[in-house]
Every structure is written in structure tokens, then in C-alpha cells.
Structure 1
Amino acid sequence: MSQRVAVIGAGPSGLTSIKSCLDEGLKPTCFESSDDIGGLWRFKETPEPGRSSIYRSLVVNTSKEMMCFSDFPMPADYPNYMLHSQLLQYLRLYAQHFDLLRHITFQTSVLTVRQRPDFSHSGQWEVVTENREGQEQRHIFDGVLVCSGHYTQPVSPLDQFPGHESFPGRCLHSWEYKDADAFRGKRVVVVGIGNSGGDIVQKRHSTRKGAWVLSRMSSSGLPLDMTAISRLTVLLTSLLPRALVNWAAERTLNHRYDHRLYGLQPTHRLLEQKPLINDDLPGRILQGAVVLKPDLRGFQGSGLLFQDGTTEEDIDAVVFCTGYNGTFSFLPPSLCSGPGGDLNLYRYLYNTDAPPLYQGVLVVPLCQGYSTGGLRARIGSFINLDWPFDQF
């Protein structure tokens, strides 16, 4: 009898997980809280609580050559870096080609994922779901794949800034931002210099620690990830001292434009954090179209005070691009007891206190650039683990 696996979420990771489970002879059941597939890549005019939200102009940061699933190439007429709507259409084509929709239960939320009382022997999990009518149902599964993403709980540090209570303008998180129309002609400050901040900024950009900025285009006009991600690059990065790799890569970036002169020089080394992928920001700084400001200190009436003592007056809106909490409220507390609430799973895969041969919880955090062959290998080992952890 095929082992039953729950797949939570019908975004890119959920769809490929369903396909990989079928390839491995497993019986997947996918629970999707909305009424359609696509997850993060479904644009909605109005953000919905508890779900990811993107803005109208969003273009992916991974080229189609690296993003496409290994068993389903993207259409030849797609651009190398596509708009979110094109990626969503690709996911629809993928689901249709492999007949995945019949394994998805829509408008069904997962409330809890808990070990059964006999878990030490069976390794089974009880999954409680709720449909759109509010009816709860209990299911028993041999394994659980968490593919619900982590861009659903925005982090807003507004309470950290004194004077925000009397600010007459609008404060919002990038999760709420849809397009620039609502802010046209207004004085807006963007706080945070991640990818969303780099895309959304109009004139004033406040950053606490700067960022290393990479363009989507690399040498000879090729997509960056096609030239930067290779077996040779991975080999050299693993063999050479990390400090040397950082120095060489940062030197190359600074040859294009000196991050210090542009006010972008970060406090961290290149390989310590994700870089900012943006084609326009340095040029806009050079033209004076974007003015970089230091970290925000607080609000003063309708103005903002920054850490260097400067102010910006008559501000109409502040957009916080300050990230998300990667929480999974339906998982057992024992799996969410890592530092800072991180998942207590070995390499985001296995709960090590489970039986030597078990069926457990696997979190699939990557939603793009994922080889389906590699995912099949993960799922095959996840459902039939029979080697020690130190051999990964």
C-alpha cells in the first residue's frame, strides 16, 4: 500500500512536491487554502491576511534557464527574466501537463500537524484541516511536506520608532504595496534595502546596513545566474578561503561602481547575506533620482529623523521593506523551538528525535530554481531514511 503524504500549499514547491511524490510511488494529498495554484506568484489587487502578496511590477530575479523545472522547460518565447504573470502561467502549464490538479484540495487550510500517539512506532502524523464552510477534518499521513512559503507574516518595526503615533501620513509594509499610482506626486520614504525596497523606492531610501548590488545582466549580456552558478564556481568557493572569495568578488563589484561612493557600502561581507538584485538603483543614485539616507531614528510630526541627525520634512508615506517572520503556526512547538523561533529540523529536513526509519516532516523552502530530480531525491530519502545524519 502506498504511503500517504500531505503536501501543504500549491505554489511552485507544492506542485513539484506532488509530482515528485507520484514519481516515487507515494500518494500525495495537497491542501491549498486559496482557490487556485501559484502561491506567491498570484497577484491580487488587495492583499489577503495570512497569504503572500506581490506588487504589480514584480519581475523575477532568477532567469528562466535556472528557474525552470528540470523535467518541463519554459516556453521559448518567455523572456529570460519574466513578469510574475508569466511565471504563474508556466506553473499552470506544468500542473496541466502532469495532471496535478486532481491531487489538490482547494479552499482548505491546515490547522495543526501533530504526531500521533503511536508515533514512536508508526511515524505517522495527524493533520487537521478546515474547509471554507468552517468544517474540520482529521487525516492520517505517513509524511508531511510543508510548501506554504514564508512571505505571509510581514515584520513591521514601527513600534521601535518614537513619534510614529502622531505621524499624519501613511505607514505600510511592502506586503501591502501594489503599485506607485497611489503615491504619485507624494513624498515617500522607503525603509529597508532588500529586493523589494530596491524595486519600490521612488526618491528617498533609508538603509541601516547597505547592500552589495548585483545586476541581472552579467558578462556578454548573459543572465547573472547562468554565469555565476556553475560547478567550477561552487568548487572554487568551497576550496578557497572564504575571505579570499569575498575579497575577489567584492573587488569585481566595486570596479563597476564603488559601493562606498554610492552610499551602498554594507557592514557585512558579500557571502554573509543575500545581495540586492537590482538593475536600476545605482544609475538612479548617480542621476540623483534616489537619495540614500541612513537608518531611521524616529518621527517628528510629519517629518522623519535619521541616525546622522538629518531630517526629511512633509513626508506623506513610509513604506517598510523589513522582511517577514518565517513562522509555521500549524507545526508542533517542538519543531519550532530553534533559535529565534527557527525550525528545529536538521537542514530544514528531519526531526532527529524520530525513529531511525520513519516518515517525518520536510519543509521545502525553495520556490524557484529547484531541480525536480533533486527534489525527488530529497523526498525519496525523507520517506525512507536509512543512513546516519553525518553522511549528508
Structure 2
Amino acid sequence: MTHRTRRVAVIGAGLSGLVAIKELLDEGHQVDAFEAAGREGGVFASTTGVSYDQMRLTVSQHFMAFSSMTPPPDEPRAFWTRERYLIYLRAFCERFDLLRHIRFETRVTAIQRLPDGTMRVCWSTGGPGEAETQGARIYDAVAICQGAFRASAPRLPCIPGLADFPGRVTHSAAYVGPKPFAGQRVLVIGMGETAADVTSQIAAQAAHCWLTFRTYPELVARFPYGHAHTTDAWSARINHWLPHARLTEFRAATDLDAAYGPLPDRHRLVEDWAVRSGGARFLQKNDDFVPQVLSGEIDVAPGGVERIEGGVVHLADGRKVEPDDIVLCTGYRESSIPAEWLDGVQVDGFILTVAGDLLQHRDQQLEV
């Protein structure tokens, strides 16, 4: 079978985009990549939105690294910072000579299917303060690798009265660090991996920090039961996902309590919340905030928010609180392929917007 070299456009130079560029080049194709930012790295390269100060990965570098450039096998497992991961991505680009194939500060404006089946990709190039220039080129195929989580598409919950709250409302997409919340009374809504970081950072500087969520997260400890290894080093993650496995683990921990004394409070809380979650949920792989829950620095209010009346927030647990700030850690809309990119184009593959719409909670309608 004769191999035909194709001209391929890759949109985005984040994690998936970089791998797409490398693999396409390895197969002998001609590749042009388009990245709106000034460097590679996607959300990890951003200084505002999605990526924030003091951010750390939720899996070890041995799990996060690409198979074509793994860390040394004897390198101790660690949770890299955002900055350290960007260093890795730059080294990946240099090792496989990817940078010369990427057009930075270039925004794709349209993708048009032509009668012969090829696609015209149109773009605009220009950094901050520079005059924009337009361009277009014909490609045999296009790989859209722009990611699912972008600051331009925050998911906003429909909470009665939220629009009239007199204080400041911030989505985690705009969160950079805790300094603006120092000395304030802050209510954080949501409990994903970003919320764990954001709540922990804010609580350390706020006058008071409440944390509320509708359902308990399926927590996984970074270093289970005091082990030196990260959780991805020694356990199959499917075991954490299965509810019966979590119940079995909890019962085993109870038996160990009786035989050898109780588990540390931190690990006990992780197990307790995992059981309360019911299992079969997306793993929340960040337990750094747990000590602050145990100390009371983070005031947990399970059940979420019922309504907001003026400056008073009515929580599902019956409490009424009056925060100065509300921080929404409620994720992002995954629907994000712009309509103008799809002029006559049929997109193959799994589209996150489909799953996002189907699995969306009935009370979690989105504001446009």
C-alpha cells in the first residue's frame, strides 16, 4: 500500500496539539500548527484563566509525561508545578524539532470544505499592539486540538439571586492567586481539582472561607496512607472509581482501626468523603485542602446553594451566610468548536460538547 503524504493543519499547540504534530511528522506528513498564544503549552502557558499561580499537576510526572519522552525510571515521583511542566513541554518541542512548524500568535478564523474535499484554513496573525495580517492555505486534513477547558467558556450555575449579589463574583477562569481575597469573607462553590487549590489558597488569607458543593467528591489522596509513592504509582485507578471497591477499602480501614489504631485524620476524611460520594464518579485527585477542613480554616457546607437574597446566601444545610466574595469553581463549557470553523465540515471523533450536554445536571443550566 502506497503511503500518501498529506498536508495537515493542527489547531492548538497544547498537550494534544504537540503530540499530533509529532506523530504526523513521524508519519511523513507536512504539518502547519496554529497557536493563538505566544508560546506552546495551551492552558498551562496561560497566566490568567484555567492555569493559576501555585498550580500543581494532579498526577505524577511519570503519568503525565508523553511515552516518547519519559522521565528517568529512577526519578522520584512528584507533582510538577505548572512552570516545571512547561519546561518539560519546551524540551519535548526541542527534542522533536516541533517549534518551526508552529505559527504563534495566530488565530484561526474559518475552516471551509472545498468541492474536492480539501479544506481551506483562514487565519489572522498579530501579537498585542501589532497590526493583524490575514492568511489562508489549503490542507488535506485538519486536527482541532484546542482543548476543552478555556477561560473564554466558563460554566456559570443558575443560582436564584446570583445576578443581584452585591459583592464580587469571580469564576475560577479569572483566578490568578489569593491576594485579592485577603481579609475577606469568601464563599467557594464547587469541589473539583481546581476548587481544592483555590479554596486552600483563599482560606489561608481570608477572614472566613466557606466551601459548598452539591455532592461529595470522590477524593483520592496524593500520597495514600503516608506512602512515599503517588497514588498513580501503586493502584489501578479503576479500583477508586468502583463504589464497591471504595466500600471494601473503607471497611478494611475500619478493621485496621480496631486492630492497630485509627488512620490519620487526613486519610480518614478522604475515605469518608469517598464513601459519601457514592463512588463511580470522576476522581478528584487533590487532597491538599483536607488539613484546612480538619482545622476549621475551611468551613464545609455540603448541599450547595439554595438561593441568594441580596447579600445573604441561603445554603442547603440551613445556614445563612454573608460573604464579601463568591468564587465559582464550576468548570467550563466543553462545547467550544466555533461555528465559523465548521463551514461544511463534518468533524470526526468524540466531541466533548455531546457528552457535556447529555451528562449535564438538570439544575446546572448554563448562562450564555
TM-score under structure 2 length normalisation:
0.78
**Residues 127-138 of structure 1 mapped to structure 2, 5 A cutoff:** 127-132=121-126, 133-138=131-136
**Residues 370-381 of structure 1 mapped to structure 2, 5 A cutoff:** none
- Which one of the candidate residues 20, 23, 27 is aligned to 1:24? 27
- Which one of the candidate residues 35, 38, 41 is aligned to 2:38? 35
Equivalent residue for 1:351? none
Distance in structure 2 (CA, Å) of the matches to 1:261 and 1:277: 15
Does the Cα contact within 8 Å between 2:219 and 2:271 map onto a contact in 1? no
Q: How far off is 1:13 after superposition? A: 1.6
Distance in structure 2 (CA, Å) of the matches to 1:261 and 1:224: 17
Q: Deviations over 1:44-83 (max 9, x none)?
A: 1xx3xxxx53110110011111111222233777861111
Does the Cα contact within 8 Å between 1:8 and 1:31 map onto a contact in 2? yes
Letter in 1 for 2:165: F
Q: Deviations over 1:8-52 (max 9, x none)?
A: 1111221221111111111111001111111111141xx3xxxx5
Equivalent residue for 2:313? 304
Equivalent residue for 1:177? 175
- Residues 339, 13 of structure 1: alpha-carbon distance in 2 compared, 3 angstrom cutoff: closer
Equivalent residue for 1:215? 221
Distance in structure 1 (CA, Å) of the matches to 2:60 and 2:349: 35
SS for the counterpart of 1:197 is helix
Equivalent residue for 1:374? none
Q: Percent identity?
A: 27
Q: How far off is 1:285 after superposition? A: 2.0
Does the Cα contact within 8 Å between 2:216 and 2:274 map onto a contact in 1? yes
Larger displacement relative to structure 2 (83-92 or 325-334): 325-334
Letter in 2 for 1:127: V
Distance in structure 1 (CA, Å) of the matches to 2:100 and 2:45: 20
Q: How far off is 1:178 after superposition? A: 0.8
Q: How far off is 1:217 after superposition? A: 1.2
Equivalent residue for 1:360? none
**2:40 matched to 1:54?**
no
- Which one of the candidate residues 354, 365, 368 is aligned to 1:342? 354
- Which one of the candidate residues 107, 110, 115 is aligned to 1:109? 107
Equivalent residue for 2:63? 66
Q: How far off is 1:130 after superposition? A: 1.5
- Which one of the candidate residues 226, 235, 251 is aligned to 2:233? 226
- Which one of the candidate residues 325, 331, 346 is aligned to 1:323? 331
- Residues 317, 154 of structure 1: alpha-carbon distance in 2 compared, 3 angstrom cutoff: farther
TM-score under structure 1 length normalisation:
0.73
**2:268 matched to 1:265?**
no
SS for the counterpart of 2:62 is helix
**2:253 matched to 1:247?**
no
SS for the counterpart of 2:248 is helix
Does the Cα contact within 8 Å between 2:36 and 2:106 map onto a contact in 1? yes
Distance in structure 1 (CA, Å) of the matches to 2:231 and 2:39: 32
Distance in structure 2 (CA, Å) of the matches to 1:308 and 1:336: 45
Aligned residues: 319
Letter in 1 for 2:235: A
Letter in 1 for 2:121: V
**Residues 267-306 of structure 1 mapped to structure 2, 5 A cutoff:** 269-271=278-280, 273-293=281-301, 294-306=303-315
Distance in structure 2 (CA, Å) of the matches to 1:176 and 1:54: 9
- Residues 260, 98 of structure 1: alpha-carbon distance in 2 compared, 3 angstrom cutoff: closer
Distance in structure 2 (CA, Å) of the matches to 1:33 and 1:107: 4
SS for the counterpart of 1:15 is helix
Larger displacement relative to structure 2 (219-228 or 335-344): 335-344
Letter in 1 for 2:309: Q
Q: How far off is 1:96 after superposition? A: 1.2
Does the Cα contact within 8 Å between 1:43 and 1:85 map onto a contact in 2? no
Q: How far off is 1:93 after superposition? A: 1.1
Distance in structure 1 (CA, Å) of the matches to 2:78 and 2:269: 28
Equivalent residue for 2:95? 97
Does the Cα contact within 8 Å between 2:44 and 2:51 map onto a contact in 1? yes
Q: Deviations over 1:115-159 (max 9, x none)?
A: 22232xxxx22222111243332222122112111111333435x
- Residues 261, 311 of structure 1: alpha-carbon distance in 2 compared, 3 angstrom cutoff: farther
Equivalent residue for 1:186? 184
Larger displacement relative to structure 2 (8-17 or 80-89): 8-17
Q: How far off is 1:339 after superposition? A: 9.4
Q: How far off is 1:263 after superposition? A: 9.9
Letter in 2 for 1:226: A
Distance in structure 1 (CA, Å) of the matches to 2:84 and 2:351: 37
**2:335 matched to 1:332?**
no
The gaps in structure 1 that reach 5 residues or longer are: 345-392
Distance in structure 2 (CA, Å) of the matches to 1:96 and 1:138: 27
Q: Relative contact order (C-alpha < 8 Å, sep 6+): which is higher?
A: 1
Equivalent residue for 1:12? 15
Does the Cα contact within 8 Å between 2:218 and 2:274 map onto a contact in 1? no
Larger displacement relative to structure 2 (74-83 or 84-93): 74-83
Does the Cα contact within 8 Å between 1:262 and 1:282 map onto a contact in 2? no
Q: How far off is 1:170 after superposition? A: 0.5
Letter in 1 for 2:320: T
Distance in structure 2 (CA, Å) of the matches to 1:337 and 1:100: 24
The gaps in structure 2 that reach 5 residues or longer are: 204-208, 254-266, 357-368
Q: How far off is 1:340 after superposition? A: 8.9
